[in-house]
Amino acid sequence: MVVGEFTTDIDVLVIGAGPGGYVAAIRAAQLGRKVTIVDRAEVGGVCLNRGCIPSKALISAAHHLEAVQHGDTMGIKAEGVSVDFAKVQEWKGGIVKKLTGGVGGLLKGNKVEILSGEVLFMSPNEVRVVSGYDSARYRFVDCIIATGSRPIELKTFPFGDRILDSTGALSLGHVPESLIVIGGGYIGIELGQTFSKFGSKLTILEGSDAILPGFEKEFSSLVAKKLQKAGVVIETGAMAKSAQTSEKSVTVTYTVNGEERQATAEYVLVTVGRRPNTDELGLEIVDMKLTERGYIEVDEKGQTSVPHIYAIGDIVAGPALAHKASYEGKVAAEAIAGHPSVVDYKAMPAVVFSDPEIAGVGLSETEAKKEGYEVAIGKFPYAANGRALSLGSAEGFVKVVGDKKTGLVLGAQVVGPEASNLIAEIGLAIEMGATLEDIALTIHAHPTLAEMVMEAAEGALGQAIHQINK
């Protein structure tokens, strides 16, 4: 097709088919708009294809392996356990294929047109979509940009055969004999710990004074202890300086308190953050306002400085979370349809699928105090929960934060098995304006892990039953 031969008119254009874009497209279609979605790669974006879903599949497989290897405390002994990693990867790929196929079916079922290609803005109402040697122009009424993010590449650690980003690590055809992870945030910990469970000798280099710096130390320290118990070397206050790569290994030079050290491994995984994908869209052509770090400036509806263009997900301020992108996608679609929808992040959960898991929602104790609340704290340990003991998983605790004056639930943090699921109850409580008493009066099934949420709320009220009130 000759560029500029003709222009196709469309209603709503969604750029990016990840968890933000495809949700926005479906919601906009539900609200009566005719939607076209375009992505340069696969439907489902990084999350379904190269992030959230494949990583959780590997994490689950590693948990199964560990359970088989350490069942002797329950009187279960297994011999001859082995890992066929190619089969693990095949199983993981099957999950990805099923989910991405499902998303494609949902888009088609909602009559969303799907295009493949790179998008470049030509004017405030027109884009060019390039796919291979072909290109076409499209003129739109409204647009939602949801192009996501990519791993930050350090100049001294360029990605290649031995230095990997998260996508490269998830695609490995074998379990590395050894692995160095640069960056002890949630991606580095999740993937590093997974390969450690599969048998890799793991070293973690983290620049701050603790791994998982986004969480309070009383939570992250339990993950650190589990890692160290498994023989993982954790270097905090470590600044990676350079890499020397050979045919079969890579040596990292780093400093700790000014002292230079070295570590060698088969691979290095760099997980020091992600960069918004806003630099190749031609946004300067439409004079769109960006922050110094390349994020698109938006209002509470997701509206950019160009009124009929919206932006959501990793390309706007806030944590790079798939569920945040999906939520913002719904809001943007509803705003385009004329609904009075705005974002409210008060009950936005964050989860690390480490071992043990960590999850939080709302305000932490520290954050609540900074905001001037007189807090009521309830804390209940897994070790006092019958279900946790019967699962052989008694490490961790639930911590609920409430407003002492009104009883309103302000937030909660959980560290332990199924923290990712337990946190949902607190998110709902915050969203609906529930009190500590509301949770305490809610009958929870016994024996379940969810009882700990009720027990923590009771503790915050000074009504603890299964622990001594403080």
Task: Point out the residues that are catalytic.
Answer: 446
Cα 396 to chain centroid, rounded: 21
The pair of three-digit structure tokens given for residue 114, joined into one six-digit string = 């799907």
- Is residue 289 within 8 Å of residue 298, measured between CB atoms? no
Kindly give the pairing relationship between strand 274-276 and strand 267-270. Answer: unpaired
Return d(Cα 466, Cα 463) in angstroms, integer: 10
CA dist 237 to 127, 146, 204, 234, 259, Å?
Answer: 46, 35, 11, 10, 11
168 contacts: CB under 8 Å, gap ≥ 6:
159, 269
Return d(Cα 320, Cα 206) in angstroms, integer: 19
Return d(Cα 406, Cα 221) in angstroms, integer: 32
Ranges of H-type helices in 110-184: 166-170
Return d(Cα 111, Cα 124) in angstroms, integer: 25
Adjacent-strand bridge partners of 238: 256
The pair of three-digit structure tokens given for residue 242, joined into one six-digit string = 């350079």
110 contacts: CB under 8 Å, gap ≥ 6:
25, 26, 29, 30, 35
Return d(Cα 166, Cα 249) in angstroms, integer: 18
What is the side-by-side strand order in the sheet with 201-206? 163-164, 267-270, 178-182, 201-206, 233-236
